[in-house]
Amino acid sequence: MKTIRVGIAGFGMSAQMFHAPFIVADERFELCKFFLRSGEASKEEYPNAAIVRAYEELLADDIDLVQIQRRVLANDFNLPESMASRGERCL
């Protein structure tokens, strides 16, 4: 079975407490990237996951699924629609 490569947009409380830990705990998933506007908050806990600064970078390299945090979504309502129009999957 193919591993599902995941990117997370944001690293707020939900990503830290719920999303990222459950993704890395399930062998069917690989946490590959975080989209962060600034800082490197995810690096200490997830050193193997790249940090990118643009949505386009988040979607590069065969990412299969993007999980979008509410705060990121609040700043860019067009992101899910843009992803869906390109055939990308997001939560």
Q: What's residue 76's pLDDT?
A: 55
Query: Distance between CA 34 and CA 43 in Å, rounded?
Result: 9
Spatial separation of the C-alpha atoms in residues 35 and 13, rounded to whole Å: 15
pLDDT(34) > 80: yes
Predicted confidence (pLDDT) per residue in 37-64, tens digit: 899 999 999 999 999 998 888 878 788 8
